[in-house]
A and B are shown apart, each in its own frame.
Chain A
Amino acid sequence: MMENEPTLVTEQKEESAKKGSNRIGVYLCRCGGNIADVVDLQAVGDNLKEDKNITVNIQDYLCSSVGQDKIKNDIEKGKVDRVVIGSCSPKLHLETFRSMAKNAGLNPGLLEITNIREQASWVHDKEDKTGVTSKAKGLIKGAAARMDSIEPLSPLAKSLVDRTLVIGGGIAGITTALELSDSHDVILIEKKPYLGGHMIGLSKTFPTLDCSQCILTPRMVAVHNNPRISMLTQTEVADVQGSPGDYSITLEHSPRYVDIRKCINCGACTKKCPTGAIFLPFVQAVPQAYMIDMSKCSNCGACVKVCPRDAINLEEKKETSLISVGAVAIATGFEPIDLSFIEEYNYPSPNILTAIEFEEMLSAKSKTGMRLQKADGTFPNRVAFVLCAGSRDFTGKGRKHCSKVCCIYSQKQAQLVKKMKEESEAWIFYIDMRSSGRRFEEFYHHTQEKGVNYVRGKVAEILPGPDGTLMVQYEDTNLGRKGREIFDMVVLCPALIPSTGTKEIADKLGVPMGDDGFIEEKHVKLDPVNTLNQSVFAAGCVLGPKDIHDSVTEGISAAHKVSQFLGKGVILIPPEKPVILECNGCGDCVKACPYNALTLEGGKALLSPLACTGCGICVPACPIKGIEIRNFTREQLKAQLKGILSEAPGVIVFIDPYAYAAADIAGVNRKQYSSLIRLVSVPSVHILDADVVNAAFEYGATGVLLIEGITDEKLTTRSDDLYKKLKKETRKHKKPIRYSHIETAQYEKLTDLLNVFASQAGAKAQKMSRKEKEEISDKEELAS
């Protein structure tokens, strides 16, 4: 399946830097008061006055059309030919500004953003205006110094593989696949033996009460019949190789023992099977094919003999296959939390079920002939619904988040109970009744009219009693009293959590998750189905609990975003790659490269830019310092560091893009840390050598931190060696240096670390200066 090999589309254009003669425009953004309330931007600008090549401009909102037009005009009129912006995080608006620069005729790489909001004005003590302003002065000065020396490079482009992997065959995945199939090839994989996810296990859907399988089955069949969708059930992702836009993914297929292409669903096998091991999952299942439960199979072979199509193979084994895709959509959905941890609810016990089990009893997958019944087969006359079971729990035992759908579906279930038997009783125990959403408040009202009992309060305990009855003890906070009621059935509405395996898939695809375990959106509001990996998208409950309507909306959105991504035909890759300036043919870099991007040809090292990830591990590996990463050369980094530390001493934190995102999340959450911290963005901490770190110390850094967020073990397994080497080679400065691995979601760990390290470095610096003073006074004494 490895056709459509990616190729390098554009070669890098060479232009030379004209250091010292550039006209650098520094634009500072007040961001309303978000930045200007804490940072004295006038002082930051005045600080650059001495440099005749620099012009400074301060705007209220740089990202507004007024702000952008100002920069655009300056570029077009030739007033500036390089741009440094001091504003919010580049993760937010860098693309916007760079496309503006491009339109104005400037190489987009000659515009950079210094983050003085998420990493300055939002994260330090608001009273410490002097400290934060001093930090901003240094950061901007460093950025201007860096800008003066960077080369105008053109991004590399490689062609994309026009095929998408959709992971998960629930309603979100089905929708994504169907929407994409108009113009792209799709591989849709599902872990279960059939499509439909949780939705096929639902009865009626709120608020319209239409039957779930009636609306879903046509979509499943459409997937099955679509020539552009390859549907693979019982399939999971085993391994991911390659890079965005061009992934080689190994899939693992569990055996079904029945060939779905041959099975014609005649049922002859089931009739012959003595143990009931071969069965059709359910009547509407897609694919329509029998399967074998090997735990029941006696291996007698009766089914094999009777099958008219020769579809059964009892020897089938787990298989793998390799696919090549350009984009991935994660739609792996949710699962209910295991409620047995709430010991006072005594789940599982007869007649205590989860809402999902309740739904299944009345769905296409029903094992009771779609009849609601107790363990003894009779109808439950009194049913209790217990909301927020394991959710909205801040004790650390359950989940903090609200599962969003329980308020409405439990009312729907209560309505179904009343509909099946009018004189039956349905009680809903809730904390807050949340019915926001179109038609939901009306649904709430309608359920009340049906005579459902609402009790506002948490259920304390569910005790199984005689004859399968259940005693529910609760507090009614409206009436201010405790109560107990006997029920025939208790339905627990469990916290919905990301399905098992979400973390593994996220790790394989390099996509961060929030601390709630759901996939992190690129932007919570503005990029809700993109992830921080530009070729990976997500839809449905893997992004958080939601209803069918919202899952479908996200499926459509994700398909659009995938289509937009693939439609460009190429993916731009950053041009900041190694350049081999000098080579003695020793081959150390070839050995060091984890991605086989370097080879020796004719006694010289040669780089394959497509295989190269720009990690820069070859830079310190070269014994003659003959390799540099473009625009992150030693000299450029040193110039930046000198600028940053020119104002005041501080702690230099070299941070890679993954951990940089964590710092941004810390900013958005206003987590406070010391204003001595100065972040220096590097493509990877592995480009650093003692040359750069020593320079940082010489310019006045009180400590150096290396923070790595990438999860690629090819790099992280070497981080310890890097740290030890740097520590050894910078020992003469007697200043603290530390390495830490912090993934994007671990922003609290990051801010804790920054605070601890800043105070350690501060203490050490004080001690040193005391010692120095003593030494000086000792010398003075000696001299006198």
Chain B
Amino acid sequence: MKYSYYPGCAQHGTAVDYRISVEAVFGRLGIDLEEVKNWNCCGALHVPDRTVKTGLSARTLASAKGLDMATPCNLCYSNLMRAHAALEDSALRTIVNEALTEKYDGNAKPKHLLEVIVKDLGLPKLTEHVKKPLKIKAVPYYGCLLTRPENDFDSPQNPKSLDELILSLGAEPAKYYYKTKCCGGPILITDEELALGLAKELLVMAKETGADCVVVTCPMCHLQLDAKQKAVESKFNIKIDLPVIYFTQLMGLAMGFDPKELGLSQHLVPTDKLIAKIGGRP
């Protein structure tokens, strides 16, 4: 299995732990992720002009070299998907292609890494690599952009792929009604109060389930729920203390990697208790 790989900015910045775990886990699974050269920003949520925004993703997709394009970030994924759909419009495609050296042809289909694991590799295949079934309860948190715009990967309102992944690793997915609610990440700079309020709701409801950790698929969500957890605690005067880990880290733990090999020591909310419960070395 081979994919063209679009890491997005976070993998080289705030989400180094994510990158480490992706490399470890995908390497073990034999899934080749070939990073595209000279990639650009996906536009995040901040480019209002549709043509420019579509063009940014078109340029990335045009460099896929005949492969499908995998990405670890929900925001990148959502933007690639939107562009992929928008470029069905041949008029827009012509305008965009005029600006591109490598032309967009629509052949590369964007895929989130979760989709690569659940749909392309398949959970039965993943189970073969599980060495240490995780006897924990984990909150599956998809974020708001993984399943939007509506796609053929999972349901926009009640997705189940991450639940199933958690289950296949021997852990119990918590019943979590906030699985696709916004974490507040994209508005943290512009409206911190609202952003922290949204994160608080997610964290409180996650804690309510009695789970050992929250599992995320997006570096923005991770930033908001892990790095900002302390800020939420002090702002609302509550105690959360809930580790937030990437799904690739959860996979890595079950596949028998050392927590350090997965970047688990780089979290702001300590993961020691979680690791101890799984029976790994802290």
Which residues on A are within 8 Å of B, measured CB to CB?
343-344, 346, 463-466
Contact = CB atoms under 8 A, between A and B. Distances in A.
A343 B177 contact: no
A339 to B, nearest CB: 13
Contacts of A466: 208
Given A343-B157, A346-B177, 11 more contacts: A343-B155, A343-B158, A344-B157, A344-B158, A463-B177, A463-B178, A464-B177, A465-B177, A465-B205, A465-B208, A466-B208
Nearest to B157: A343
Contacts of B155: 343
Nearest to A464: B177
Task: Say whether chain A's binding surface is mostly helix, strand, loop, or mixed.
Answer: mixed
A343 B177 CA distance: 10
7 contacts: A343-B155, A343-B158, A344-B158, A463-B178, A465-B177, A465-B205, A466-B208
Contacts of B158: 343-344
Contacts of A465: 177, 205, 208
Interface string B125-165: 00000000000000000000000000000010110000000
Contacts of B178: 463
Contacts of A343: 155, 157-158
A346 B176 CA distance: 11
A464 B208 CA distance: 11
A346 B177 CA distance: 8
Q: Which 3 residue pairs are nearest across A and B when measured between Cβ atoms?
A: A343-B157, A343-B158, A463-B177
B251 to A, nearest CB: 26
Contacts of B157: 343-344
B207 to A, nearest CB: 10
A37 B130 CA distance: 77
B158 to A, nearest CB: 4
Interface of B: 155, 157-158, 177-178, 205, 208
Nearest to B156: A343
A466 B155 CA distance: 25
Nearest to A470: B177
Nearest to B181: A463
A165 B196 CA distance: 66
Nearest to A349: B177
Nearest to A466: B208
B201 to A, nearest CB: 10
Nearest to B177: A463
Nearest to B155: A343
A463 B178 CA distance: 8
B180 to A, nearest CB: 9
Contacts of B177: 346, 463-465
Contacts of B205: 465
A346 B205 CA distance: 16
A464 B205 CA distance: 10
A480 B57 CA distance: 37
Nearest to A346: B177
A515 B180 CA distance: 35
A464 B176 CA distance: 9
A412 B178 CA distance: 33
Interface centre among B155, B157, B208 (most CB of A within 10 A): B157
A344 B177 CA distance: 9
A465 B158 CA distance: 16
B161 to A, nearest CB: 14
A549 to B, nearest CB: 38
Nearest to A471: B177
A466 B208 CA distance: 7
A484 to B, nearest CB: 11
A679 B163 CA distance: 57
A350 B157 CA distance: 19
A591 to B, nearest CB: 51
Nearest to A340: B158
B46 to A, nearest CB: 25
B149 to A, nearest CB: 15
B203 to A, nearest CB: 13
A343 B160 CA distance: 12
Nearest to A344: B157
A174 to B, nearest CB: 40
A343 B159 CA distance: 10
A30 B44 CA distance: 66
Contacts of A346: 177
A537 B177 CA distance: 47
Nearest to B204: A466
B223 to A, nearest CB: 24
A680 to B, nearest CB: 45
Nearest to A342: B157
A466 B177 CA distance: 11
A306 to B, nearest CB: 44
A14 to B, nearest CB: 68
A485 to B, nearest CB: 16
A350 to B, nearest CB: 11
A461 to B, nearest CB: 9
Contacts of B208: 465-466
A466 B158 CA distance: 19
A465 B155 CA distance: 22
A346 B158 CA distance: 9
A466 B178 CA distance: 13
Q: Which of B155, B157, B177 has the most CB of A within 10 A?
A: B177
A343 B142 CA distance: 15
A345 to B, nearest CB: 9
B211 to A, nearest CB: 14
B236 to A, nearest CB: 15
